[in-house]
């Protein structure tokens, strides 16, 4: 296969933990051809969506230059067997514009992973609203009175913005918190921004579990991201420690319910966040944690991912 990755600058990769690198390495080991472009390398001209992409070659070095890049060349996205959108959030308007370009390329015959429209349609926090049977008590609103009422009802609550990532701007508040009003005002911009409130789940002490879905099927291990002492957030970016564990019965129930639904919509790779028995987020932009699970369990998650890409590519050729 000829694979194109839409990524952040390659020189910024932390290859010891980067999921995109793990996919690249697995694909290269199987003889697939790798290309990389930045978000700004995408263009629409002459009626065709193109990418200014470089073919890259992995060097095998871990502490030096891990890749060599050929001179960039302009190619239509239809020239690649698969285009993987692996640009990290934030999901800002430039990200949205990229999904428009990728969706147009899809209409011209390109195969995009994850499907651009599905990425746009699944805000990573709001997407849980489609599956209320698996969620803790949750409120989404700009109304400060409703947020205060939710805190009064549930007493111990997590407040977070809908656009956040990596645990940024997440607050744990209690009904007697003297800073409650100012936190609500600051987070919501005095009613200008939408806020999500969720009942605090005490099982966060055991980890915020990342459950991976690939082609609708759960990876058998989750990565429990355990908060550091004195911290509420388990995110690795916020100092959490990742511990790989087999899926619990509840993890598997959630994954098996959501997997086929999300896969049908074109979301080949999804990262579910589960705390205790509750679904808290559905990550679709650039799900991670492959390497941590692989290193701790031996489960070749990147291999499962490339298997799925190969199956899809073969099916696409047969139907052409």
Give 207's contacts (C-beta < 8 A, 6+ positions apart). Answer: 224, 225, 226, 234, 240, 243, 245, 275
Round to whole Å and give the CA distance between 149 and 180. 12
Q: Kindly state the helix (H) or strand (E) to which residue 138 belongs, with its residue range.
A: strand 138-141
Return the closest-CA partner of residue 37 out of 96, 86, 104.
86
Tell me: cis bond preceding 90? Omega within 30 of 0 counts: yes
Structure tokens at 7: 């990524």
Round to whole Å and give the CA distance between 19 and 287. 8
Q: Kindly state the helix (H) or strand (E) to which residue 312 belongs, with its residue range.
A: helix 301-319
Which residues belong to the active site? 125, 160, 210, 225, 233, 273, 281, 283
Structure tokens at 148: 């205060």
Strands (E), 162-268: 171-174, 195-199, 208-214, 217-218, 221-226, 241-246
């Amino acid at each position: 296969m000829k694979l194109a990755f839409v990524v952040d600058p390659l020189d910024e990769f932390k290859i010891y933990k980067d999921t995109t690198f793990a996919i690249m390495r697995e694909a290269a080991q199987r003889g697939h051809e790798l290309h990389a472009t930045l978000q700004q390398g995408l263009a629409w001209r002459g009626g065709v969506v193109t990418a200014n992409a470089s073919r890259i070659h992995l060097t095998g070095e871990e502490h030096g230059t891990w890749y060599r890049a050929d001179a960039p060349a302009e190619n239509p996205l239809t020239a690649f067997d698969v285009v993987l959108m692996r640009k990290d959030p934030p999901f800002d308007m430039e990200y949205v514009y990229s999904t428009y370009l990728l969706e147009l390329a899809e209409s011209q015959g390109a195969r995009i992973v994850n499907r651009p429209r599905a990425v746009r349609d699944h805000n990573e926090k709001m997407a849980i609203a489609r599956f209320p049977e698996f969620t803790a008590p949750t409120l989404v609103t700009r109304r400060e009175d409703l947020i205060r009422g939710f805190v009064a009802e549930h007493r111990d609550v997590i407040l977070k913005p809908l656009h956040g990532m990596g645990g940024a701007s997440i607050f744990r508040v209690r009904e007697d918190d003297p800073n409650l009003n100012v936190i609500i005002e600051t987070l919501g911009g005095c009613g200008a921004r939408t806020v999500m409130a969720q009942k605090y789940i005490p099982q966060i002490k055991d980890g915020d579990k990342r459950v991976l879905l690939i082609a609708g099927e759960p990876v058998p291990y989750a990565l429990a991201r355990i908060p550091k002492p004195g911290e509420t957030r388990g995110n690795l970016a916020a100092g959490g420690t990742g511990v790989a564990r087999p899926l619990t019965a509840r993890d598997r129930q959630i994954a098996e319910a959501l997997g086929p639904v999300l896969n049908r919509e074109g979301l080949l790779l999804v990262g579910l966040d589960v705390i205790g028995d509750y679904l808290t987020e559905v990550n679709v932009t650039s799900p991670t944690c492959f390497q941590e699970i692989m290193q701790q369990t031996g489960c070749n998650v990147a291999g499962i991912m490339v298997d799925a890409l190969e199956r899809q590519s073969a099916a696409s050729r047969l139907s052409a």
